[in-house]
Amino acid sequence: MAEQKLNYFERRAIWEAHGKRCAYCGEPLSFSQLEIDHILPEALLGAPERWRLIREEQSLPAGFSLLGYENLQPSCRRCNSRKRADPFLPGRIAIELGVAGRAKRQINDLIDDFKKADQRDKLRFAIAGALGSGELSERDIHAIFSSARANEGIFRLSAPLHLFGDEPMGEISKGSYEQYLDQILSLSPEMHEGLRLVSDDDREVRARTVREYQQATGSGFYPLSNVEMQVATRMFERPLSILSILQTGSLAERSFMDDPRVGLADISLLPATLLFCTEDMTSDPNVGQKRASLEQKSIRDLISAGEAKITDVASDVLGVESDDCRTFMFEIMRADVNGDGVQDMVIHWGAKPIDGTLRMGSVTALTRRSHDEMFSEIVVGGEQTAG
């Protein structure tokens, strides 16, 4: 039977996952000295009856593979030679398989990391060569790296955000999705046990992670007080909406907002309906008619007519007061969020009455399908109100 061949990434991952030491004697092991040992011999593949008996003896799961990382460990030459001459007893086999099994997930993660790093290195060398020959511009380089990172499931945020912990994040990754769900959030001291959520039958649960919040609200629990609603919106609902986008987001094939770059500061391209106050936020009986009148207008139109005024503006931030309401928006990221191949701008949208305490917030996306169009809205996150 042919001996199993492992590539460089696999050998290095097994070596690093086991601490760069021989699994049997514990001595430091250089990569050049590395040998990969099958805990249960590979030759069992050619002895099906003996292999069946060992599987039963060790109570191995159906998916166990003699060629899998759960059966491989790093070894020095001396220990590997000694083991071939003196096979392990059943009890020792169980111990070694337990160690290898626990390392399997880390090995797979390391292999993914090594492959991505290798792809980036190859890309850098290719770019360096193209730059030297004058074949690429700086804009070309930015586009290439953005494409490479998006293909790896990594998306740059428009500005660092506090989403899943104490440290602001500059990018989010599909590969870290489960980690984001289970990250313990930094809540205020009075919520050290977690955000309180209640049910209609007076039960209470606490949520400290996005996953716990998602499970609780899916079971009918909800925030009760004004403060708890605001925390739920900011710390749980917004990250959940962004994670939902992360799962489906992809690199856009076309963009009508990057060249030239336009965004929230370009109020002539933003629909006036983004400033709309809902029935919950105003006592105006003509609110429905007012919304209809905004359909064909931009925010600039309202400002020019004296019906709105800007309170805050930057390349990725916009604050506007209109019709006794204050609206605040900031850009989160850019990606294709609905699979139509066109780049969209994901934003946080918030609004409140100027003289009231009710607040509303959501994560939404604005798209632009040609250079002649205004932005239009794609709803991608649920809305949450806070009194």
How far, in Å, CA of 341 to CA of 380, rounded? 16
pLDDT of the residue at 143? 59
The number of C-alpha atoms within 13 Å of 26 and in the hemisphere containing its C-beta is 0
Using one digit for the tens of pLDDT, what is the confidence trace for 282-308? 555 565 566 666 778 899 999 999 988
In 119-251, the DSSP E strands lie at 154-161, 169-173, 195-198, 204-207
pLDDT of the residue at 156? 82
- Relative to beta strand 195-198, strand 72-75 is unpaired
- Relative to beta strand 376-379, strand 359-367 is antiparallel
Task: Report the phi/psi class of residue 160: left, alpha or beta, with left for phi > 0 and alpha for psi in -120 to 50.
Answer: beta
Does the structure show a pLDDT above 60 at 373? yes
Using one digit for the tens of pLDDT, what is the confidence trace for 200-257? 999 999 999 999 999 999 999 999 888 898 889 888 988 888 888 888 888 787 889 9
Does the structure show a pLDDT above 70 at 348? yes
* Arithmetic mean of pLDDT over the chain: 83
Using one digit for the tens of pLDDT, what is the confidence trace for 52-108? 999 899 899 988 999 999 999 999 999 988 887 666 888 888 999 999 999 998 999
Which tokens in the block code for residue 176? 């870290």
Only one residue has tokens 């049910």, namely 199
pLDDT of the residue at 154? 77
Residues 6+ apart with CB under 8 A from 236: 185, 195, 207, 210, 213, 214
Per DSSP, the three-state class of 309 is strand
How far, in Å, CA of 199 to CA of 39, rounded? 52
Dihedrals φ, ψ of 31, to 5°?
-65, -35
How far, in Å, CA of 326 to CA of 42, rounded? 69
